[in-house]
Structure 1
């Protein structure tokens, strides 16, 4: 499938370099909601951090020896310094450590990424020649985006590494995120209205699935 290549400011490129052929095995897969849901759920669950567990009564190193007489002391009859009422004792009903990590087959993860890219290829994909900016300033880049018609949340994916000037200029633009090709993932792609790929990013993503 052929797609027009443009400049970052939306200007068209003439000649042979103005078109790029996208691999249909990567950008032409029919999306399935169940596969995308599984991959997104796996991503979000693995992002969750575990709460630091508290030490309960059985976890503290305090004496269990009865430290006072059963009667005659004028106090309550305690038998363990690890009780929650004492300083240094274990916490009653404390937070427990919970693990949220899930496993997902590599083939399903790869298929999910292909489907996410394919869904954007149908609507919301823009291919640019590079992210080089003559003047790497936020105001200038904002003008380029407005001229190109990028609205809403925009995800920009570059090749091996994101262009430094572009990354700094995009850092203060609300709703704009940048990633190298290695960081492309289903959740971020689906969570943005527009996906901008450089020609290097396209080559990297296609090579990633073609071994």
Structure 2
């Protein structure tokens, strides 16, 4: 199949990568797993053994009612928790092949909806927010825009930094959440070739 390249001749790409069907359930699974992997388990309590404080026996063994060792036990106020909660991992296992199929599915759907724009290059001579805004206006994109470059330069990052909802990544940092959350995705020809090589 052919991809239209803005300002250049069309690019021949794989039907399997850019023309496949949209697998909604798989995309949902992969996006959810990606977001879950970024979560940090923060719930934590101290068990009896982790409490600070003396372990000295606070009263004699006999003659004082119930026998006890120290005040760190869960039955005392300020003591440890019986089954203390600990941070847990929210990671979900996703096979590498399934992950690639999901990315392929998202890219193909972006192309079908005409939300994937391909340009010959994404380069700026110097960091300039004004030049970046003009470039985006020229490409007729709005909303949340993801710029994907094969080797994103510092000037490109700095130019997009002050514009709301514009995100610059290289191919290696491409992820399902960024793709799904973008209104438009702009890729360079080199980035398209790299993505095709990765997903083929």
Name the counterpart of 1:183: 173
TM-score, with normalisation over the residues of structure 2?
0.86
Offset from partner CA, 1:79-112 (integer Å, 9 cap, x none): 413146677x535775422221111111111100
1:10-31, Cα deviation, whole Å (9 max, x unpaired)? xxx2xxx421122111111101
Q: Is the Cα–Cα contact under 8 Å of residues 131 and 163 in structure 1 kept in the other structure?
A: no
The alignment covers a number of residue pairs equal to: 196
Could you tell me whether the CA contact under 8 Å between 2:125 and 2:155 is conserved in 1? no
Q: What is the match of residue 192 of structure 2?
A: 202
What is the match of residue 45 of structure 1?
36
TM-score (normalizing by structure 1): 0.82
RMSD: 2.5
Q: Render the CA deviation track for 1:177-210: whole Å, top value 9, x for unaligned.
A: 1111111121210110001110110111111134
| Corresponding residue SS for 2:122 | coil
1:138 aligns with 2:129: yes
Contact 1:125 1:197 in 2 (8 A): yes
The question of 1:169 aligning with 2:159 is answered: yes
In structure 1, runs of 5+ residues without a counterpart are 7-12
Among 54, 67, 71, the residue aligned to 2:45: 54
Q: Which runs of 5+ in 2 are unaligned?
A: none
Instruction: Answer whether contact 1:156 1:195 (CA < 8 A) is retained.
Output: yes
Q: Is the CA contact 2:146–2:168 (under 8 Å) kept in the aligned structure 1? A: yes
Equivalent position of 1:10 in the other structure: none
**CA shift digits 1:34-83 (9 cap, x unpaired):** 111111111111111121633222433755553124768xxxx8641314
Cα deviation for residue 172 of structure 1 reads: 1.0
Deviations, residues 130-150 of structure 1 (Å, cap 9, x unaligned): 111134301221122123211
Give distance in 2, aligned partners of 1:142 and 1:92.
58
> Which residue in the other structure is 1:116 paired with?
106
The DSSP-based 3-state class of the residue aligned with 2:48 is: coil
* Contact map agreement 2:101 2:199 (CA 8 A) in 1: no
Residue aligning to 2:118: 127
Counterpart Cα distance in 1 of 2:133 and 2:82:
54
